[in-house]
Amino acid sequence: MSTATARAVEAVLFAADRPLTPDEIARHLPAGADLREALARLTDDYRGRGIELVERGGRWHFQTAPDLSHLLSRERDEPRRLGRAAVETLAIIAYHEPVSRAEIEAIRGVQLSKGTLDLLMEAGWVRPAGRRDGPGRPLLYATTPDFLSHFGLSSRRDLPGIDDLKAAGLLDPVSATFAPELESDAENR
Amino acid sequence: MSTATARAVEAVLFAADRPLTPDEIARHLPAGADLREALARLTDDYRGRGIELVERGGRWHFQTAPDLSHLLSRERDEPRRLGRAAVETLAIIAYHEPVSRAEIEAIRGVQLSKGTLDLLMEAGWVRPAGRRDGPGRPLLYATTPDFLSHFGLSSRRDLPGIDDLKAAGLLDPVSATFAPELESDAENR
Amino acid sequence: MADAVESPVLTISLDGWEGPLDLLLALARAQKVDLRDISILALVEQYLSFVGDAGRIDLEVAADYLVMAAWLAYLKSLLLLPRAPDQDPDPDMLAALLQQRLQRLDAMRDAGARLMARDRIGRDVFARGMPEGLRTIGRPVFRTAIFDLIDAYAQVAARTAPVQHQVRRRPVMALDQALARLRAMLPDAAEWRRLESFLPPGAQGDLRRSAVASSFLAALELARQGQAVLRQDAPFAPLMLKAS
């Protein structure tokens, strides 16, 4: 039998129609409830069941266990299929954020077609993240908490292979030397 | 193995966007799975938790435990301003308390609309304060401690200008002759 | 794509590539060695020959490829020519940077594929299908300032204070007063005197006007009683009075 707080957290997260931060959960609980303990306990309770409690980017939600996907996929629309350019752009943003459009183009070696960033923003995975100080003050892009939830990442540190890439220097800031053919474009955006 | 079936049923019901009949659930399961047993087992598992599995009219679904439904809605402060009539009424009660409805109307020179006193009581600033001895035994109203603290007063005597108004003769008790036709109304409310 | 790379003569076109770096990466991959070990010189050769052989060249599409080709030709010349010990830019450095660029693009492409293959919500894992939802209910909190309260009370007081008609004391000389005064003064008025000379001394403004009016009425009354005689030589001429 779970404690009163665990029951309450369970009910709140179950009823929620989106992932919730601990603060958001706490607003539905009596003051002083030990939310941390309840979340840990629930995570344990559900381990190995058909539903699991997960934390993604600081927000918690229940979801079905990944190994059961074959039972559930029928009659379901495949989530939007991204083209190659969009997938690469999303990966570049996720691994380099915050990153400017010119930097994305430098890494890909080609100009970004008009709709690519729009598509990623519409999907709710990418957001504008301020401007970089410097010439042209380019707009920067970063990923959203929804990106983490959607791809089942607890945080950006969970991005596949990110530590190795970092160690290999492949995530260092993009220098203009990398992309001589795009150099002149960078300042115009 | 019943655990596998229970997990599957758990996930299917969780992800479903409507209550499902056993047949509908079974379509997601391997042939020969013991659905009946899985449902019984899940119903047991969830008993006493924040979520429960219920059957309604032959359809199964998860729902949050009914005793926790109060957690699902959260109250939030919504600042509101009192209308003119309410502020005037409140002022009259504060200066003259305890005061009857008829007296308030006599002082304001206007009848009190139905909700005004209710609103002031909802705001927590006005309370019923017994009845006046005399014809009709009209209900009396007075301010609350909340009223004083909201307006930063330590007592009603702190109301600015009360002495000036008193000197001007404006705070004399409303005589019956002043509003004879209204006094009789008191008992009808 | 791999087939196309191995036998470029068959399908020489730039349409299928996501830019020159994409093409370079595909050519590098065709070397079938780790990207860190590829021969940049060979890669440059392959690229230049591929772009040179490209049959139909849409200038719009080809511009980026040609810029890259020019840069690679430049790099090739730097790599081949005998070089000074401290040449700037260092050709090996430029080659290393190109290599790193290819590695980075390759890494991002791979990362993208790995991201897409993760358990994704709505495809592999599912959120609750019919959440009750959480509601926020507004709780009214009334805010009124003390000033509003006082001001409201003052307005109520002003609006409903019982109306008291108080007649202001006005400076007047009543008829009785005027009559008494004229009677007392007439015995001394054997000669014609202007009516104004009978007014109380110092009467100004409204009081004087009132005194004139009441003294005139008093004079008429005394004349009626036969105690005084009135005379006016012309309309609006001074009114003259003496004892009869």
Q: Residue range B131-146: average pLDDT?
A: 89
CA angle A40, A45, A51 (to 5 degrees): 105
CATH number of A84-158: 1.10.10.10
Chain C residues lying within 8 Å of A149, measured CB to CB: 121
**Which of C144, C146, C160 has the highest number of chain B CBs within 10 A, making it the mutation to test binding with B?**
C144
Q: Are A64 and B14 in contact (CB under 8 A)?
A: yes
Least confident of A107-111, B13-17, B157-161, C105-109: B157-161
Q: Would you call B130 an interface residue with chain C, using a CB distance cutoff of 8 Å?
A: no
- Virtual CA dihedral for C153, C159, C160, C162, nearest 10 degrees? 120
Chain C residues lying within 8 Å of A15, measured CB to CB: 131-134
- Residue B181's pLDDT is 40
- Residue C57's pLDDT is 61
Q: Are C39 and C67 in contact (CB under 8 A)?
A: no
Chain C residues lying within 8 Å of B52, measured CB to CB: none
Q: Would you call B178 an interface residue with chain C, using a CB distance cutoff of 8 Å?
A: yes
- Closest to B139 (Cα-Cα) out of B126, B150, B124, B148: B126
Q: Are C214 and C173 in contact (CB under 8 A)?
A: yes
pLDDT (tens digit, 0 to 9) for every residue of chain A, 189 residues total? 348 899 999 999 999 989 999 999 999 998 888 999 999 999 999 999 999 999 999 999 999 999 998 888 755 555 667 889 999 999 999 999 999 999 999 999 888 888 899 999 998 999 999 898 888 889 999 999 999 999 999 999 999 999 999 998 889 887 644 454 444 444 443
Q: Assess whether pLDDT exceeds 60 at residue B179.
A: no
Chain C residues lying within 8 Å of A126, measured CB to CB: none
B82-122 residue pLDDT tens: 888 899 999 999 988 899 999 999 888 888 887 899 989 98
Q: Are C136 and C73 in contact (CB under 8 A)?
A: no
CB atoms B77 and C153 under 8 Å: no
Choose the closest CB to C138 out of B76, B81, B170: B76
Choose the closest CB to A79 out of C97, C104, C120: C120
C interface with A, Cβ–Cβ below 8 Å? 18-22, 24, 64, 67-68, 71, 97, 100-101, 103-105, 107-116, 118-128, 131-134
pLDDT category at B162 given cuts 50, 70, 90 is low
CA angle B86, B90, B93 (to 5 degrees): 140
Minimum distance, in Å, between the CA of residue A55 and any CA atom of chain B: 18
Q: Would you call B108 an interface residue with chain C, using a CB distance cutoff of 8 Å?
A: yes
Q: C-contacting residues of A 64-103, CB under 8 Å?
A: 64-66, 69, 72-73, 76-79, 82, 84-85, 87-88, 90-92, 94-95
Global confidence as pTM: 0.64
Q: Are B91 and C149 in contact (CB under 8 A)?
A: yes
CB atoms B49 and A15 under 8 Å: no
- Residue A117's pLDDT is 92
- Closest to C161 (Cα-Cα) out of B111, B168, B180, B93: B168
- Residue C168's pLDDT is 61
CB atoms A14 and B50 under 8 Å: yes
Query: What are the strands of the beta sheet with B139-143, ordered from one edge?
Result: B99-100, B139-143, B126-131
- Residue A78's pLDDT is 58
- Residue A92's pLDDT is 96
Per-domain boundaries in chain B: 3-66, 84-158
Chain B residue at shortest CA distance from C144: B81
C-alpha C206/C-alpha C201 separation (Å) is: 14
CB atoms B62 and A7 under 8 Å: no
Q: What CATH number matches the domain at A3-66, 3.40.1010.10, 3.40.1160.10, 1.10.10.10, 3.90.1150.10? A: 1.10.10.10
Segments of chain C with pLDDT less than 70: 1-15, 54-61, 160-169
Minimum distance, in Å, between the CA of residue A46 and any CA atom of chain B: 11
- Residue C8's pLDDT is 42
> What one-character-per-residue DSSP string does C160-228 give?
HSPP---PPP-----HHHHHHHHHHHGGG--S-EEGGGGSPTT--HHHHHHHHHHHHHHHHHHHHTTSE
Sequence-distant (≥ 6) Cβ neighbours of residue C26 within 8 angstroms: C1, C2, C5, C17
The two structure tokens encoding residue A118: 């729009």
Choose the closest CB to B65 out of A7, A29, A72: A7
CB-neighbour burial class of residue B16 (10 A; exposed 0-12, middle 13-18, buried 19+): buried
Minimum distance, in Å, between the CA of residue A20 and any CA atom of chain B: 13
Q: Which chains touch A (3 or more CB pairs under 8 A)?
A: B, C
Minimum distance, in Å, between the CA of residue B57 and any CA atom of chain A: 22
Least confident of A169-173, B1-5, B167-171, C61-65: B167-171
Q: At what angle do helices C146-160 and B84-96 cross, to 10 degrees?
A: 80
Q: Are B160 and C150 in contact (CB under 8 A)?
A: yes
Chain B residues lying within 8 Å of A6, measured CB to CB: 50
- Residue A155's pLDDT is 92
Going along chain C from its start, the domains and CATH numbers come out as: 20-117 (no CATH), 175-243 (1.10.10.580)
State what percent of residues in chain B have pLDDT above 70: 83
**Which of A71, A74, A76 has the highest number of chain B CBs within 10 A, making it the mutation to test binding with B?**
A71
Given the DSSP bridges, would you call strands B73-80 and A139-143 parallel, antiparallel or unpaired?
Answer: unpaired
- Closest to B10 (Cα-Cα) out of A83, A122, B23, B28: B28
Identical fold, B3-66 and B84-158? yes
Chain C residue at shortest CA distance from B107: C160
